[in-house]
Structure 1
Amino acid sequence: MQRLQFQHLLNELLQPERIKDYCPNGLQVQGNNQVSKIITGVTASQALLDAAVAKGADTIIVHHGYFWKNEPYCITGMKYNRIKTLLDNDINLFAYHLPLDIHEELGNNVQLAKLLNINITGPLELGNPVSVSIQGELDDEMTGEALNTLISEKLNRQSLHISAGSNKPIKTIAWCTGGGQGYIELAAEQGIDAFITGEVSEQTTHIAKEMDIHFFAAGHHATERYGAKALAQYLASTEGLEVEFIDIDNPV
């Protein structure tokens, strides 16, 4: 498939124009005109680039790419090494940040819900069709300890659990993969029992206890593995492309 055709396919699928983001979405670094061997991953780290080179890939698709808002413009140091690797090996780099979080089928949020058997009921940001946080319900109530065990087992990473002030049972849940801890107050204001995200801040402990909501920090990387993996599976099954998801582990 030609690069331009592939770029159009990805943009039609992920619709980056739907949401304002902190970085450019789509083709970030141009490479080979032909797309035939694709690697997907969470972050365009040097380790992922090196793995793609070793596998003879001509295209990489990631959730975390380059050129973030407020980062230095100069291509030096680590950024130089990464971009040089792409250019020297004629590899295309595509990145989709928030569009890969919110996609209704392949997105990180939806994929996490499937993994944890949460029934999606709607956006957390009520009235916002492109909400980056969503909410849902469990089939049966769970204790905070039981849900923490489930999250840790499913993500293969020990989750941090801050129990609600009353340590109430959990039926309703809101979540935002990655660095979404700022949404905990919105979830608590709506009377939701628990909030799941990837990261935690100092104030999160006080909010959870004082607003009586369970909080789970399951890892930024760990909660965002599944969108890039689902995208790889989708492209392979629907387009017949050679696509492989590579997980470069990150404890954060």
Structure 2
Amino acid sequence: MNIKDFEKTIQQLFGEKLLEEEDEYGFTYTADKEIHKIGYATNLSVETVELAIAQGIDLMVTHHDAWDFIYGLREACAAKLAAHNISHFWIHAPLDFVDFGTCTALMKILEVDEINAYSTYSEADGELPGIAEFAAPVEFEQLAGRMRSALSEPVRAWKNNDRPVKRIGVLTGAGHSSALIREAAERGCDTYITGEATLYTIQYAQFAGINLLIGSHTFTEIFGVASLAEKIAEIHPDVEITELEESHFELNH
């Protein structure tokens, strides 16, 4: 597979509509060579680039670009990528809102029985969480334990009602907005799951009586990146995929 083949595969997997916003995906650096090994991670960072170098990666695929407000990071990463002739592609919003993406992948990891709605975005409504149900209700602590095991990290948990968990709302990563929690509650969810929390997130969930489970931004989203990498490998079976395993650096709250 070469870069052109990879671009066609992204078009095939996401479709025209999800790729309309061209500032939500792209290449940081493209190397002129065949792609035999893809390394995937949630974040583009100096650390993940160094993992790619050590593992002989030809193409990095991440959910996040280097954020503009982490000053100088993109330039540092681009320089390392160029020095070692490694391509890098990132895809943000389209991966959040595709039917195999970040929210769906986490819901499946949590062993839901039915996905009622995928996470979506529109100009009229903004972001909306994914909604899923368990056929048989599970105890809140059981679900929290399931999430801790899947993410391999502590998960902060607030039990704000006395019911077992039946219906969950999920928006991975920075889904801390109280408006998103209100949307989940209004759609009958007893539990809301995301990857970041502020004072307002916690207070509103308590006020609204909806349980809250908070993992890290990185590890609530890694399953969606893995899902994308697996789909690329299905289309190009000669390409090897491997996770660039990030540390749990967000845990020092």
TM-score > 0.5 by shorter chain: yes
Partner of 2:10: 10
How far has the Cα of 1:130 moved from its partner? 9.8
2:211 corresponds, among 202, 209, 214, to 214
Give the alignment partner of residue 103 of structure 2, picking from 84, 106, 109.
Answer: 109
Deviation readout 1:54-95 (Å, 9 max, x if unpaired): 222221110011365xx48xxx74333211101111211100
Q: Which moved more, 1:113-122 or 1:126-135?
A: 126-135
Could you tell me the percent identity over the aligned residues?
23
1:23 to partner: Cα distance:
4.2
Instruction: State the superposition RMSD in angstroms.
Output: 2.7
* 2: CA distance, partners of 1:200 / 1:45: 23
Deviations 1:164-191 (A, max 9, x none): 1x33222111101111121112112223
Superposition pairs of residues 88-127 of structure 1, within 5 angstroms: 88-105=83-100, 107-118=101-112, 119-123=114-118
Whole-Å separation in 2 of the counterparts to 1:199 and 1:80 = 27
Q: Equivalent residue for 1:225?
A: 222
Deviations 1:217-249 (A, max 9, x none): 011111111122222222223312122122212
> Do the aligned partners of 2:189 and 2:210 also contact (CA within 8 Å) in 1?
yes
Q: What SS class does the counterpart of residue 199 from structure 2 fall into?
A: coil
SS of the residue 2:162 aligns to: coil
The one-letter amino acid of 2:83's match is: D
Conserved? CA contact 2:103–2:119, under 8 Å: no
Matched, 1:198 2:195: yes
Give me the whole-angstrom Cα distance separating, in 1, the residues matched to 2:233 and 2:121: 35
Distance 1:126 1:24 in 2: 13
Gaps of 5+ in 2: none
CA distance in 1, matches of 2:228, 2:49: 18
Residues 46-57 of structure 1 mapped to structure 2, 5 A cutoff:
46-57=46-57
The match for 2:45 is 45
Residue type at the aligned position of 2:145: T
Number of residue pairs matched by the alignment: 245
Kept in 1, the 8 Å contact 2:134–2:167? The answer is yes
Structure 1 contact 42–247 (Cα < 8 Å) conserved: no
Partner residue in 1 for 2:235: 238
Greater CA drift, 229-238 or 57-66: 229-238
- CA gap 1:129/1:243 in 2 versus in 1, 3 angstroms: farther
Of 157, 166, 169 in structure 2, the residue corresponding to residue 171 of structure 1 is: 166
Q: Assess, with a 3 A threshold, how the Cα gap between structure 1 residues 133 and 21 changes in structure 2: closer, same or farther.
A: farther
CA distance in 2, matches of 1:22, 1:214: 36
- Do 2:43 and 2:66's aligned partners in 1 also have CA atoms closer than 8 Å? no
Cα 1:19/1:199, change in 2 over 3 Å: farther
Q: TM-score, normalised by structure 2?
A: 0.86
Q: Is the Cα–Cα contact under 8 Å of residues 32 and 58 in structure 1 kept in the other structure?
A: no
Instruction: Tell me how far apart the structure 2 counterparts of residues 2 and 168 of structure 1 sit (CA, whole Å).
Output: 52
Length-normalised TM-score, structure 1: 0.86
Aligned to 2:181: 184
Give the Cα separation in 2 of the matches to 1:108 and 1:93: 19
Q: Answer yes or no: is the 8 Å Cα contact 1:178–1:223 preserved in 2.
A: yes
For the residues of structure 1 that align with 2:18 and 2:51, how far apart are their CA atoms?
32
Q: Counterpart in 1 of 2:66?
A: 66
